[in-house]
Structure 1
């Protein structure tokens, strides 16, 4: 016969296993919801490719993307990286309180320096990767100038001039084609860099979701809603960058779905090792923020300045950028 003690232990272990399964289902389900919801919204965007007819709308979306990336970096990622050491409760008295305050101030200063260095590290890392990829693609600097040839039969000067002018026009056309190819290849590099930054960002979102469901289902739901509101504008911006990089609408959406693996990995890591979240955010958040700053300032903003835009188009682009920043402000306020 089984003793009452053994039966109660068995019931407790079964309850714990059920709780673990339920926890994983809730956390992973929330992560999949966050990954799928923006994907469905992208179907409504009437941009199919980086073609001339879609350039004006695409530039407005890119403006929104730059505002979202910069807002995300400066209002969400960096403040969250600073948060663990931004509030210190010094409730000691007299000299002991002063010592504690001095120590905490020193720790906070070191932490802020560390966050700043990781942001700069993210910028430099993305620059190095882009430089390296461009080197691997090979230089396009060699010219295709036509070889000069001497006329022994003494052709007329007018014919020579026409040939020279024709050769010059061909060279100019070749240079324009080469320049366009170089620009498209360069943009593609930054498009994939944006995917890498988005992957790490989704990883930190996954860490947050897992940690929140470990606290309680209610906290998990609130965190999921917050991240969902934050992800929708961010994913729209990422979509615009990928389309500008030369991807079709379908390819851009599929590539964005791949970054959902980062969110699932973050959720799993957070659930398997409860303390990993705090350790990871110490460097992942500011590093990702540096990547976002690099993409917004080096890739997106120069794209908005290229070519001539009408006054109305320029106003719409600036408004879209401010709208992207404004959305991040609202989300940061209610987090």
Structure 2
């Protein structure tokens, strides 16, 4: 590690103390245990959220959580992932989360040299993440035949009502209910009712499209958890104390993030139980990152070159393209104000966490 490369005479007496190096069994036990703790703790908090599914009775609270999720995603991208990608040693080296900036001789706003190339590289990878998520969503929509806009309010389509042969609007559910009652009295099922039910059972364009944003967010969260696992593994390689501090920092960061991910999955069409199961899957990314960091020291520094900014691009795409448009649909002034405050709260949470990292 870079701290060990300094001459002992330059360090204070407290800094001359050697870091406690764990034996391999203890190292893996502590690192993997910390990763499992970070993955499990937010999961139990989700039980307290009174949202079961994307239904009309839960829309007000769900959209408030979506506002918080959007603020958290954007705050995470601009205040956590991109800054750590610009200063790679701050996230993984020695397992610390300091924000020390490299000492650049001369003016700090140079347009030449490796620093400018690094910033350009980070910007390119952020844009690559946005474009990649766009391509994936376009591809999934094309494969599943999603040619519509794919957005709805309370899970219902805004398609115009069908016209009858006389030019009047079809009664829709009222006529269908009369047909069902008539069929029940006669014992003979109405063919129109059967055709209607058959259409409802077919996977529609709306359902296929709405689920894409949830899976895109899962992919971004999986990559994000991988980088967190890299940080945890590197921190325990540096020492038990550094590992404990890093674990606490990542845990505080993950709690609001997982709440936001849960809201996005429910809005995408998942039930509460399914959303919680899918979020457990993303814990595999953290375990993989921890294992890679322990098996190959220094891999975390190499990963920050592209994984962090690429994930930031994914978060920006999900937050702006998939989440914010849902907040622009038919809401009362008071609800709109609460949603804006929820978004600001999500950003403020990330500002607070980034400040104390």
Smaller-chain TM-score range? Answer: 0.7 to 0.9
Residue 321 of structure 2 is aligned to residue 323 of structure 1: no
Q: 2:103 aligns with which of 62, 74, 89?
A: 89
* TM-score in terms of structure 1 length: 0.80
Residue 353 of structure 2 is aligned to residue 314 of structure 1: no
Aligned to 1:47: 51
Residues 88 and 104 of structure 1 are in contact (CA less than 8 Å); yes or no, is this contact kept in structure 2?
no
Q: 1:66 aligns with which of 56, 70, 73?
A: 70
Residues 199 and 259 of structure 1 are in contact (CA less than 8 Å); yes or no, is this contact kept in structure 2?
yes
Distance in 1 of aligned mates of 2:272 and 2:164: 45
Residues 144 and 205 of structure 2 are in contact (CA less than 8 Å); yes or no, is this contact kept in structure 1?
no
Residue 79 of structure 2 is aligned to residue 56 of structure 1: no
- 1:162 deviation in Å? 6.6
Residue 133 of structure 2 is aligned to residue 131 of structure 1: no
- 1:84 deviation in Å? 3.2
Aligned to 1:75: 79
- 1:139 deviation in Å? 4.9
Residues 68 and 346 of structure 2 are in contact (CA less than 8 Å); yes or no, is this contact kept in structure 1?
yes
**Secondary structure at the residue paired with 1:47?**
coil
Residue 121 of structure 2 is aligned to residue 107 of structure 1: no
Distance in 2 of aligned mates of 1:87 and 1:54: 45
More helix by share: 1
Residue 354 of structure 2 is aligned to residue 332 of structure 1: yes
- 1:196 deviation in Å? 0.4
Distance in 2 of aligned mates of 1:239 and 1:260: 14
Residue 42 of structure 2 is aligned to residue 38 of structure 1: yes
* TM-score in terms of structure 2 length: 0.75
**Secondary structure at the residue paired with 2:101?**
coil
Cα distance per residue 1:166-190 (max 9 Å; x no partner) = 58777xx99xx89x94333212011
Distance in 2 of aligned mates of 1:247 and 1:201: 21
**Secondary structure at the residue paired with 1:192?**
helix
Residues 110 and 116 of structure 2 are in contact (CA less than 8 Å); yes or no, is this contact kept in structure 1?
no
Residues 146 and 205 of structure 2 are in contact (CA less than 8 Å); yes or no, is this contact kept in structure 1?
no
Aligned to 1:163: 165
- Matched residues, number: 291
Distance in 1 of aligned mates of 2:279 and 2:141: 23
Residues 206 and 263 of structure 1 are in contact (CA less than 8 Å); yes or no, is this contact kept in structure 2?
yes
For structure 2, list consecutive stretches of 5 or more residues without a partner in the other structure: 1-19, 90-99, 149-158, 177-195
